[in-house]
Amino acid sequence: MHRYRSHNCAALRKSDVGSNVRLSGWVHRVRDHGGVLFIDLRDHYGVTQIVADPDSDAFQIAESVRGEWVIRVDGEVKARSDDTVNPNLPTGEVEIYAREIEVLSAARELPLPVFGEPEYPEDVRLRYRFLDLRRETLHRNIMRRTEIIASIRRLMGEVGFTEFSTPILTASSPEGARDFLVPSRIHPGNFYALPQAPQQYKQLIMASGFDRYFQVAPCFRDEDPRADRLPGEFYQLDMEMSFVEQDDILDTMEPVIRDVFREFAEGKAVTDTFRRIPYAEAMRKYGSDKPDLRNPIEMEAVTEHFAGSGFKVFAGMIANDPKVEVWAIPAKTGGSRAFCDRMNSWAQGEGQPGLGYIFWREEEGAVAGAGPLAKNIGPERTEAIRNQLGLEAGDASFFVAGIPDKFAGFAGDARTRVGEELNLVDEDRFDLCWIVDFPFYEWDDDNNALDFSHNPFSMPQGGMESLEGDDPLSIKAYQYDLVCNGFEIASGGIRNHIPELMIKAFGLVGLDEKIVEDRFGGLYRAFQYGAPPHGGMAAGIDRIVMLLVGAKNLREITMFPMNQQAQDLLMGAPGEADSGQLLDLNLRLIPVAKDD
């Protein structure tokens, strides 16, 4: 028999009754039932119940073991009585009568519990992550993550992609966040950078004559942590294709993403055909370029109903500035003064002056509007708004006014709040869509300058003609995002592979040919020697896993995450370098000035 086990802790069934077996694992729980000890023995695969009665030679050792000790058990498989079968365990019909127990490793008193799913301080959980990972839910999430990545690799292979690995040590490149820099010992004063994404390398792969590339790629960005992105590093499904237009990429990747979600949705519905929503439409209807389509609310412009009305606040704004609009946020079933007042208070808590509203109720067999706005604009305008929005008695609508670019984000937040408060969001489905036609440029108010709005490597719609003749802020890009349940899970574009177009596009944001060549030299040179039209995208592995397992935070699906201060409490990183290491790297630390 093997030194440690003949079976794992999930393997034994009723057909094994009478067998002599050997198991090893962690002591999950110990229970004393009238002098007979029951030990739940756990390993990576599952749990098996061990019985040690006072007549057994193993009883004395069984009395001494505690939670999370690692033990080996030899014994006989016996059937449980009908009234003690545990239907929640695959091994629930059997138990092992211990003949011999060996302690392989004792455990000190635990700094955090492993059994159950307790709320515990994050710093303790991360410092003792090896214990935290023993928890059932977290352990299962990590395994599901591995299964999802394996499925992605299989599906990408099935549609003709080949996985290539790109370098980790590379050159610094602006990708929208700070680089992690690595000092070079051999080249004093020079630095490598960890890749924010394999963007330039995957384009170079296309220029090198390969056709369909993908990679489950580690990416490194020195940016502040968020709930949907871990500090330091994350993983993405990176892909690129040659001789394609935008629709080719969307048509190729949509079935891959859909099939991954269907495989792991656990009964939740998954969108059959992903809608393709222009960016401008998404902002107008949902106030966000990553809309949660499970929320049925769609905002509408109702400016004409307030223009020249008795509600002087909105009417005055409209009269004074032709850019001003009024948007309605319809709220089915929200037609009570209490709910409307609650939403108004929420808006004030968000730093807004308030949130105008009308709610409708039945009065003398007819539907009538109520609330301050209804009184100010009168019944005819109120009825016109109700008809436009398709509302009935018992419904309400909220209103925001101003220049849309300024209030769209708040309006989107209000839409989300209304949907959640009224339980309008369908929690039992994954609703996916493409957002397309992003603006190529945006105006940077801080620097009073034009800047790229999305990805500087993308192809502008209209090509050189648009760059030379159109208002830059009107130019759209062949860029697209994939959104699921309010989260952006992928982003991509058709690439600008024509050198003259690259120079023109970067020139409009103040970067001349020399700067382009210095920053993107490899890519720029490659395009001088015949580059195919190409495009691709990158999907966030971590976000996809988070959605599929129902986690609220990426730390619940990542094996060894950092904390919110970008520290690895388990390994003690970042840490200080000793003087010898600094000398090798030709570095000297400048003391940080302390406040008096």
Structure tokens at 553: 């935070």
CB 43 within 8 A of CB 25: yes
**How big is the chain by its Cα radius of gyration, in Å?**
31
Q: How is residue 5 annotated by DSSP?
A: -
Q: CA 214 → CA 153, 247, 551, distances in Å?
A: 9, 18, 26
pLDDT of residue 553: 86
Nearest partner of 433 among 482, 363, 382, judged by Cα: 482
Structure tokens at 35: 């002098």
Is position 393 within any domain? yes
Q: What are the tens digits of pLDDT across the range 304-363? A: 999 999 999 999 999 999 999 999 999 999 999 999 999 999 999 999 988 999 999 998
Using DSSP, how many helices (H) and how many strands (E) does the chain show?
Answer: 18, 24
Interhelix angle 246-264/136-158, nearest 10 degrees: 140
Q: What are the tens digits of pLDDT across the range 144-157? A: 999 999 999 999 99
Please give the model's pTM, rounded to 2 decimal places.
0.91
pLDDT of residue 229: 66
Structure tokens at 529: 């020697």
Together in a domain, 154 and 51: no
574 cis-preceded (ω within 30 degrees of 0): yes
pLDDT of residue 48: 98
CB 282 within 8 A of CB 291: yes
CATH of the domain at 343: 3.30.1360.30
pLDDT of residue 223: 81
Is position 115 within any domain? no
Give the C-alpha separation, 426 to 446, whole Å.
Answer: 39
The three-state DSSP-derived secondary structure of 301-323 is: ECHHHHCCCCCHHHHHHHHHCCC
- Containing domain of residue 328, as a range? 295-425
CATH of the domain at 26: 2.40.50.140
CA 391 to chain centre: 34
CB 35 within 8 A of CB 60: no
- Name the 3-class secondary structure at 23: strand
Per-residue burial over 443-475, b = 16 or more CB atoms within 10 Å of its CB, e = otherwise? eeeeeeeeebbbbbbbbbbbeeebbeeeebeeb
Structure tokens at 283: 């902002």
Residue with tokens 């239907």: 87
Together in a domain, 197 and 257: yes
Torsion of CA 451, 453, 457, 461, to 10 degrees: -110
Cα atoms found within 13 Å of the Cα of residue 38, Cβ hemisphere only: 12
Is position 60 within any domain? yes
Is position 157 within any domain? yes
Together in a domain, 85 and 195: no
Together in a domain, 317 and 191: no
Together in a domain, 142 and 274: yes
Is position 126 within any domain? no
Q: Which helix (H) or strand (E) holds 379?
A: helix 372-389
CB 325 within 8 A of CB 301: yes
Together in a domain, 149 and 53: no
Which of the listed residues 368, 392, 425 is the one where a domain comes to its end? 425
Together in a domain, 417 and 443: no
Is position 124 within any domain? no
Which of the listed residues 381, 403, 425 is the one where a domain comes to its end? 425
Q: CA 16 → CA 1, 42, 96, distances in Å?
A: 16, 19, 10
Give the C-alpha separation, 113 to 117, whole Å.
Answer: 8
Total domains in the fold of the chain:
3
Structure tokens at 285: 């209807």
Is position 579 within any domain? no
Together in a domain, 75 and 94: yes
Structure tokens at 480: 């697209």
User: Tens-digit pLDDT profile for the chain (596 aa)?
Assistant: 899 999 999 999 999 999 999 999 999 999 998 889 999 999 999 999 999 999 899 999 999 999 999 999 999 999 999 999 999 999 999 999 999 999 999 999 999 999 877 788 989 999 999 999 999 999 999 999 999 999 999 999 999 999 999 999 998 875 567 899 999 999 999 999 999 999 999 999 999 999 999 999 999 988 876 655 677 889 999 999 999 999 999 999 999 999 999 999 999 999 999 999 999 999 999 999 999 999 999 999 999 999 999 999 999 999 999 999 999 999 999 999 999 999 999 999 999 988 999 999 998 889 999 999 999 999 999 999 999 999 999 999 999 999 999 999 999 999 999 999 999 999 999 999 999 999 999 998 888 899 998 888 899 999 999 999 999 999 999 999 999 999 999 999 999 999 999 999 999 999 888 888 888 888 889 999 999 999 999 999 999 999 999 998 888 999 999 988 889 999 999 999 999 999 999 999 988 776 65
Is position 30 within any domain? yes
Q: CA 48 → CA 92, 95, 97, 460, distances in Å?
A: 8, 7, 11, 61
